[in-house]
Chains A and B, each alone.
Chain A
Amino acid sequence: MRLNNNKNLNPKKQISFYFDGTKYQGYEGDTLASALLANNIHLIGRSFKYHRPRGIISAGCEEPNGIVQLEQDEFTEPNRRATEVVLYNGLVAKSQNRWPSVNFDFGEINDLLSPFFPAGFYYKTFMWPPKFWKTYEHFIRHAAGLGVSPKKEDPHKYEHYHYHCDVLIVGSGISGLYAAKIAASEKLQVLLVEQESETGGSILSANNSNNKINGQSQNEWKKEILEELHSYKNVKIITSTTLFAYMHYNYLLGIQDIDPSRGNKKNNSIRQVLWKIRAKKVILATGSIERPITFNNNDRPGIMLAGSVSKYLNGYGISLGKKIIIFTNNDSAYQTAIDYHHHNIKVSAIIDIRNEIDGDLPSLAQSLGIKIYSGYVVSDTSGRKKITSVTIRKFEEKDSNKKNTEILECDLLCMSGGWSPTVHLFTQSRGKLKYREEDSCFIPDQPHQQTISVGACNGIFDLKSILEDTRKSVRDFLDCKSNDGKIEIYDAEEINFGKQQNSWLVSSKDKISKSKMFVDFQNDVTAKDIKIALSEGFQSIEHVKRYTTNGMATDQGKTSNVNALGIISELTGVDISNLGTTTFRLPYTPVTFGAMAGRYVKEFFDIERTTPIHEWHLDNDALFEDVGQWKRAWYYPKNNETFNEAVNREVKATRDSIGILDASTLGKIDIKGRDVSEFLNRVYTNAWSKLEIGKCRYGIMLGDDGMVIDDGVTTRLGEHHYLMTTTTGNAASVMGKLEDWLQTEWPELEVYLTSVTEQFGTISLNGPNSRKIVESLFPKQNFSSDSFPHMSFKELEIDQVKCLVMRISFTGEICYEINVPSSYALSVWNKCIELGKNHNITPYGTEAMHVLRAEKGYIIVGQETDGSVTPVDLDMDWIVSKKKYDFIGKRALYRSDTSRKDRKQLVGLLTTDPSIVLEEGVQLVEVETALPMPMVGHVTSSYYSPNLGRSIALALVKSGLNKKGTKLIVPTSNKSIEVEITDPVFIDPKNERLLA
């Protein structure tokens, strides 16, 4: 029922929303929870395991029950806390975990069967026989979970926002606002972050007529401070932003909801912003969370936290009941009774567990004529879909029976089991907690970073002390002793609070084993489950948590963790301080994947690199392959060719006449300096000092463990000037490795490395007719093998554009690699195509490149090698210098393992049936035996060779170099394939074509 003092709401702006298909009215400024409650809807959903009816219990992010499926289709979001969803016109929400409806739910049968679903039910029931898990899993997964994940793509945008400040203040309650005022007047850059849509924290739930600050109502006080804060240029205030992670060096992450009305607009506006904040100092003013009390049937709709009931009353102007009962173990809940009294609604009874009640608030309540049952407890409740009555008895009479109990009718039960400081961020920052026995609070002890906690999150609950402590701590923390008189001193009336009395379990007529005393509402964990876990030998709090799943739901146990500790303590007799707490992990509240991904989705997920000739490939129907971040042309199908047809055509044309390849992606490192030759001697296995200017040399690079990490051709451009090429995928890592050696081990060498990969486009012309093309391109140059032999280099010009031309080959054919400055690469490429028309010039992609090099037995690092292959294994001893005293990887080549004779070695393989193309990666055996068969090697490359008219393969085989001519078997599931070990060079072993 809505009263008429709703200070947070704009009373004129009525808006409508839908819950489970029915249209309701709310006000702008409402949350979904307040709007539902104002419409007298208490039944919001069904519980996780037992499908018990559940309603809203709180008014904040701690809410375990009031979670809904928000919006529909691509906009849908499961498990949204109704207490946090800001109401907007046309909002659509549905209840969760019920079928067919929240009022009539078939799953409710689980509640009757609950004796059969104790803690560990799934672990115990579905572990045997092991094979059947796959059958069970399907059904269990279907039954699990509350809401439904969206199936469609999220149409919204998300942003990341970086922010740096001197002081970050988390929470805008009384302490937060006061701290902001102090920090602001110190001229510091201040960021004040509030998780709710409006600033104020506890002020939003405060009664205007008491708890005044300097004689002002809290609302007036807030208005004044906010006005002042807004006048400062160095203060930024953001709301609807939850800081969910506190990491090293005061790095905090926050998630900000930008557009709560997204359901209506359905445009692609920015929905959430992920804030990445680095603050010099952090002031935590995160408040506290009220604890429920654990008694039988404490989960019925209409049983709520007392402080939240006050918030709905004072903040939203909603009266939640006519017959109200309060159940408490401390003074704070009396305020709720007093608040209701101010609206002329009388609370029927306050059930107080304590015998001695001496605080100021209880005295006030008593003077207002509210009935107080001192030393009493609520031991049970009734009412299926909403509470109808409570059973009370004297606390001291442990065994309740009909004689000593009394039944009181009610439609709202407000409970308060004390308050837990919100220390989540503090512990995430690795601050140490201490336990305060008298009100069972974990409070901040020793901070680990530049941070302080003020107000309720520091375990200070009365207004006068909060104001005093905040002023003192913040001024000390910010070191503002110099200008003492500047900051206004705030004061409030002193209120005496009576002592809290903790009782973690309120027994009922049922034994624990038959009771339904809920601890974790969202995961349906009861006191019974905790008892079972303890009796089954789980001792560590972390183990009890995992076995019972207490605190593991989407609310992360904000209302249940301390109660669970208390129950364990009560059942085991171990002090809570000795139990420790479970870890407060991030995120504090759930974070959407969208916010984490930000803009880094689709084409922005990773960098896409294209060559300067990319456009031509697109125009000529190339299909692309991802090689690292590069898009490389894979093959160019013509006239509906299949993959195999196209690749075979490209391979054949290259050997028959001429093929052209875009090799621009090869890594290129320009190396200059006095000591380059010495440097190359150290990083490559072969010798470099004697390489003539204008000559090229192939090199293999090892790690210091002796394993091949890269290969490529390096050209000596001048006395102290080389151009190194690396494999496409390793360009960056090779560059990094070279820099590492130079900076850390050989600072005495004068060597300068410059990555020039993207400065050049590389056009590779291969095949017997390639010479004809370069002769036309560079008419002044003689391209005969005498004047431009294999493994040599010339700097040539086309239309005044300087090109670096190397005669090197990765196909075994005559080949010229033309390195053209990138911006001219496409025009030179076009020229080559034009000139090659009469020779059937054929562009080929990476697949044909693979086949061509495999025909010639050339390796690819990363395909023939896998980080466990030495150059000796590759039968490349010839490239390993015996004369050099040392190079990277040399010593490791004669460790006991690397010099083993039975290492896997690179060989060729030919299938007996030439039409069979082996699968890459298949294992090789000598004889087929029962499983497991002893394996002697595996296939690293396998293709159909159109030039040979048969399949070919490369493989690593144990002692393979000595086994040429012997047969091996590839066992597959339906047949055995016979292969013969051969030399890996299938075409032109005498290099006649290459050197022609």
Chain B
Amino acid sequence: MLLINCPYCGEREQEEFSCGGEAHIERPKNPPELSDDQWADYLFLRQNIKGLQFERWNHSFGCRKWFNVARNTATDEILAVYHIDEKPPQLESNDPITPCGEPKIGSGNFSTTKK
């Protein structure tokens, strides 16, 4: 279970939070002018990164505030927590290494280093 540092309340257990998917997807200001493809892109298309991903989280059993989290999805490390209106931080490791030397894409069950 993750330990999430809510920017308003401090560190709390993951069970107090809910994840709202990919962050920094702004609702278009001019929907009527968008093509079907552009609207579908906003509505449906989301990234599924193995590595650094920016996500929206809500402290739903706490202050109920939304905020952003930079998480390495391969290791579940939370690299940054920041307010909902802030830009994603520049993080040094944009391509974090997987802990067990697994392949960068897909799953891997090797818990030893592959030579």
Contacts and interface: CB of A to CB of B under 8 A. Distances in A.
A430 B84 contact: no
Q: Enumerate the 9 nearest inter-chain pairs by beta-carbon distance, A residue then B residue, closest first.
A: A891-B31, A249-B3, A580-B110, A430-B99, A448-B99, A743-B66, A248-B76, A251-B1, A745-B27
B75 A430 contact: yes
Nearest to B101: A432
Contacts of A247: 1
Contact of A891 (B3, B34, B58, B76): B34
Interface in A441-491: 442, 445-446, 448
Given A249-B3, A736-B58, A583 B111 contact: yes
Interface string A722-755: 0000000000000010011001110100000000
A744 B31 contact: no
B111 A581 contact: yes
Interface string A898-935: 00000000000000000000000000000000000000
Interface in B71-115: 75-76, 84-85, 99-101, 109-115
Interface residues of B, number: 35
Contacts of B101: 432
Contacts of A745: 26-27
B111 A584 contact: yes
B2 A704 contact: no
A704 B109 contact: no
Contacts of B115: 577-578
A626 B40 CA distance: 37
B61 to A, nearest CB: 11
Nearest to B28: A891
Interface SS of chain B: loop
17 contacts: A249-B3, A431-B99, A432-B99, A434-B113, A442-B112, A578-B115, A580-B110, A580-B111, A583-B109, A583-B111, A704-B27, A704-B43, A705-B43, A739-B64, A743-B65, A886-B31, A896-B36
Interface of A: 247-249, 251, 278, 427, 430-435, 442, 445-446, 448, 540, 542, 577-578, 580-584, 704-705, 736, 739-740, 743-745, 747, 885-886, 890-892, 895-896
B111 A891 contact: no
Given A248-B3, A583-B111, A740 B20 contact: yes
Contacts of B76: 248
A678 to B, nearest CB: 15
Interface of B: 1-3, 13, 20, 26-27, 31-32, 34, 36, 39-40, 42-43, 56, 58, 60, 64-66, 75-76, 84-85, 99-101, 109-115
Task: Give the one of B26, B34, B58 with max A CB within 10 A.
Answer: B58
A885 B32 contact: yes
Contact of B112 (A251, A278, A432, A739): A432
B84 A744 contact: yes
A278 B3 contact: yes
A417 to B, nearest CB: 20
Contacts of B56: 744
A581 B62 CA distance: 41
Contacts of A582: 109
Nearest to B108: A580
A323 to B, nearest CB: 42
A886 B43 contact: no
A659 B74 CA distance: 58
A708 B34 CA distance: 22
Contacts of B75: 430, 448
B43 A892 contact: yes
B58 A432 contact: no
A15 to B, nearest CB: 41
B100 to A, nearest CB: 6
Nearest to A577: B112
A369 B3 CA distance: 60
Nearest to A583: B109
A248 B112 contact: no
Given A442-B112, A743-B84, A892 B64 contact: no
B99 A891 contact: no
B93 to A, nearest CB: 14
A249 B2 contact: yes
A705 B43 CA distance: 7
Nearest to A735: B64
